Amino acid sequence: MITWDDFEKIELRIGTIIDVADFPEARKPAYKLRVDFGLDIGIRKSSAQLTSLYDKE
């Protein structure tokens, strides 16, 4: 749990997933993601353990 003051410091962003790849090195099944956050932030890499819920397509 965090306080309301801590929550107000969080910056939430929405991006568009532009590439998805398997992530066999991960401890749990996951995808490697490339996410476009627009001109201010650009393209960032991330990972997500969504393999049981979503196909790469």
Single-letter code of the amino acid located at 21: A
What DSSP letter does each residue of 7-52 carry, written as one string?
A: HHT------EEEEEEE-TTSSS--EEEEEE--TTT-EEEEEE--TT
How do residues 1-57 score in pLDDT, each as one tens digit? 899 999 999 999 999 999 999 999 999 999 999 999 999 999 999 999 999 999 998
* Predicted TM-score (pTM) of this structure: 0.77
> What is the pLDDT at residue 22?
96
Domain ranges of the chain: 14-57
Strand ordering across the sheet containing 16-22: 16-22, 31-36, 43-48
